[in-house]
């Protein structure tokens, strides 16, 4: 028997283990498109345990136990978390967890835990790399609510209205600038006309004298 065990572990994909050790291997990714997933937990155990427990845990911290299965040489029992539809099946050196009616909110990383319960010593596997279960499609029986793309018509209307407003704004601005330039030219012309008005020198008043002296008629004296 020892010889066959050595041959088995030499041919196994798992490395050789010391006594009473459990090693678990999982596939890294599982895509779920029809709400149904089958997660296989392959394991090796070289101890003398007779009673075992295998459980599936959700989350990076394994905080949620999804379901479990326990078995011995004569009896198998299984139980599931009420928030999941899960059933565990033991088959030789692997445990199969079947999940159905999965929802997108259950997308997460899942870990398998295998425990040798009896007889002592109690052992369990070190935490594996886990399997990311990516649930696509529907949430339960209700389709995932996705944001519908907005119709292109309101966008075009908004663009057209914006273009018209911009055009009228530019037109009004151009008319205003033209009017302002014309008004400015008229103001310059009026200022030039006012400057061309003849200006007289200031009137110089001669105190007590006329502005010019009359010419004397000397002929009156000659006669």
Residue 203 has a pLDDT of 54
Same domain assignment for residues 25 and 135: yes
| 164 in the same domain as 58 | no
- Return the residue matching tokens 């003849």: 198
Q: Give the range of the structural domain holding residue 26, as residue numbers without chain letter.
A: 9-141
Q: What's the maximum distance between 2 C-alpha atoms anywhere in the chain?
A: 186
Q: Mind listing the pLDDT tens digit for each residue in 148-190?
A: 445 556 777 888 888 888 888 888 988 888 888 888 777 766 6
The reply to whether 116 and 173 lie within a common domain is no
- Do both 162 and 62 map to the same domain? no
**59 part of a folded domain:** yes
Those residues with Cβ within 8 angstroms of residue 8's Cβ, 6 or more apart along the chain or in another chain: none
Say what the pTM is.
0.55
User: What element of type H or E holds 91?
Assistant: strand 86-91
Q: What percent of the chain has pLDDT over 90?
A: 47
More confident residue, 69 or 195: 69
d(CA 133, CA 41): 14
Give the domain CATH number at 133: 2.60.40.10
Between these two residues, 169 and 211, which has the higher pLDDT value?
169
**Does 146 fall in a domain?**
no
Domain tally for the chain? 2
The tens digit of pLDDT for each residue in 5-61 reads 444 444 455 555 567 899 999 999 999 999 999 999 999 998 889 999 999 999 999
The torsion angles phi and psi of 191, rounded to 5 degrees, stand at -65, -35
156 shares its domain with 136: no
Least confident residue range of 3-7, 63-67, 68-72 = 3-7
């Amino acid at each position: 028997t020892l010889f066959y065990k050595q041959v088995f572990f030499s041919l196994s994909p798992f490395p050789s283990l010391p006594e009473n050790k459990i090693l678990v291997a999982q596939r890294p990714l599982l895509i779920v498109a029809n709400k149904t997933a089958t997660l296989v937990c392959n394991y090796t155990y070289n101890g003398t345990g007779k009673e075992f427990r295998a459980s599936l845990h959700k989350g990076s911290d394994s905080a949620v136990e999804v379901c479990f299965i326990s078995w011995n040489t004569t009896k198998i029992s299984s139980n599931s978390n009420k928030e999941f539809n899960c059933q565990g099946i033991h088959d030789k050196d692997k445990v199969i967890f079947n999940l159905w009616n999965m929802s997108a909110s259950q997308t997460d990383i899942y870990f398998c835990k295998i425990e040798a319960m009896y007889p002592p010593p109690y052992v369990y596997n070190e935490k594996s790399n886990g399997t990311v279960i990516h649930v696509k499609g529907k949430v339960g029986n209700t389709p995932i609510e996705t944001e519908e793309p907005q119709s292109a018509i309101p966008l075009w209307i908004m663009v057209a209205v914006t273009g018209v407003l911009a055009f009228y704004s530019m037109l009004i601005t151009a008319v205003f600038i033209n009017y302002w330039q014309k008004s400015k030219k008229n103001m310059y012309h009026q200022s030039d006309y006012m400057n061309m008005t003849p200006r007289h020198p200031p009137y110089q008043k001669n105190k007590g004298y006329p502005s010019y002296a009359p010419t004397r008629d000397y002929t009156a004296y000659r006669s």
